[in-house]
Amino acid sequence: MVIAEEDLPEWLRRAVARGDSRDTLTQGRALACLAAAVLPADPVRGRALLDRGRDLSLADRSFPIRDLVLAELAHAAAEGGDRAKARELVLASPDEGRRTAEFLKLMRSTAPDGVPPLADEAETLLWRLPADDRAALPAAELATLLAPHDPRRSRALVDYAEGILPSVVDPDRAARVLAELARASTALGDTAQAFARIDRSAAINVGHPDDLALLLTELAETAVAAGDRDLAVLLLEEARTLLADAPDPYMRFLCSLEVARSARIAGDDRTAREALREAELTAPAVEDPYQQALAWTELARLAPSEDFVPRALALLPSIGFPGFEIEVLRRLPAPVHDHLSRALSSGPWPVCLIAALLAFPDPAPEVLLRIADDLLTTAL
């Protein structure tokens, strides 16, 4: 079935009329995707779509879903060039800890230009957190972000995080705080401190092998940035060794991918190839069809010449939930039009909308605005 771009608003109207979607996460994602596309052409409509997504998320009783949707909407606002709206959406979360974490993510996504304008507010959010393990990691992350812009302020945050580190009783969290402090020290040019913190972080007895492997990949990237490629290679080898004992195949897969990415950063092509091969061999052992499909999409993005896309698509009938199926299609490196056409013609409206934007990644502004007007004037 061939669907023309100018017919998209009518397909969306039919999907909305079916009234078969109560999935807040997919609704929020759909509105975020549309808002990111609409904002450059019409900021007023774009913000209205984001407001609609915000209202949906805040009405959801599942706090994790609420915060996931708010984060996606904030990212869409930043992608559409509206940093003020992105900031507003991050601050809409009632959870102070989550709000601070997402604010730091927003700063990272808009770096380097977006860091200085948001720094004061980020620090204000940080000081509202108790001076214990809840504040240590955000303080270290903010120090890293500020290092290129305001070294004095960054060093003060490093000292603050180091000062409250003894109150962090969870070994995994303490190791991550030290890893982030090592990254901040590298950004500040304090390489001796960076290597000392790498050693302290790596020496902590983190309980789960996959958690420790992920930590070691972060430390390896910091070691490369600090100028010690040999140390990075050793850390990555240790991470690969640990993964043999990781019990969960999906976590083992994700960690192998991180090792491969970090090895590429370190210029260690052999380890990158071997870790990627380990990830490929692990993917079929992932029992959940949605997680396994996501695994193949990750591999497809890293190695598009392989046959990973057909493996992901073959799992779609086993997933059984339209919101998860469209998320798999959204993560593929290129649109798969026959699957998108089916989603357009029979999926609930959020799935139909995401499929439309995947199938037509650069639609005419008038088509976008007609879709936006329909969704803003219809009860969903």
For residue range 127-143, what is the model confidence (pLDDT) as tens digits?
Answer: 999 988 889 999 999 99
With beta carbons less than 8 A apart as the criterion, state whether 371 and 12 touch. Answer: yes
Q: What share of the chain is helix, strand, coil (3-state, %, to 5)?
A: 80, 0, 20
Three-class DSSP category at 342: helix
pLDDT at 374 over 70: yes
pLDDT at 64 over 80: yes
Q: Quick check: is 24 in a domain?
A: yes
Provide the pLDDT for residue 98. 87
Residues 6+ apart with CB under 8 A from 10: none
Q: pLDDT tens digits for 20-56?
A: 677 899 999 999 999 999 999 999 999 999 999 999 9
Question: What's the number of domains the chain is made of?
Answer: 1
Q: Quick check: is 264 in a domain?
A: no
pLDDT at 207 over 80: no
Q: Quick check: is 205 in a domain?
A: no
Percent of the residues in the chain that have a pLDDT greater than 90, as a whole number? 73
Q: Quick check: is 294 in a domain?
A: no
Q: pLDDT tens digits for 258-286?
A: 999 999 999 999 999 999 999 999 999 99
CA distance 23 to 7: 25
Provide the pLDDT for residue 1. 62
Q: Quick check: is 262 in a domain?
A: no
Q: Which two tokens stand for residue 148?
A: 């290129």
Residues 6+ apart with CB under 8 A from 58: 66, 92
Provide the pLDDT for residue 61. 87
Provide the pLDDT for residue 250. 95
The DSSP line for 251-287 is: HHHHHHHHHHHHHHHHT-HHHHHHHHHHHHHHGGG--
Can you give the residue range of the structural domain that contains 79? 1-94+321-380
Please report, for the chain, how many H helices and E strands are present, in that order: 22, 0
Amino acid at 321: F
Provide the pLDDT for residue 353. 95
- The residue with tokens 């195949």 is 249
Average pLDDT over residues 292-314: 91
Full-model pTM: 0.88
Q: Quick check: is 251 in a domain?
A: no
Residues 6+ apart with CB under 8 A from 261: 217, 272, 302
Q: pLDDT tens digits for 349-361?
A: 999 999 999 999 8
Provide the pLDDT for residue 73. 96
Residues 6+ apart with CB under 8 A from 275: 236, 240, 256, 257, 259, 260, 263
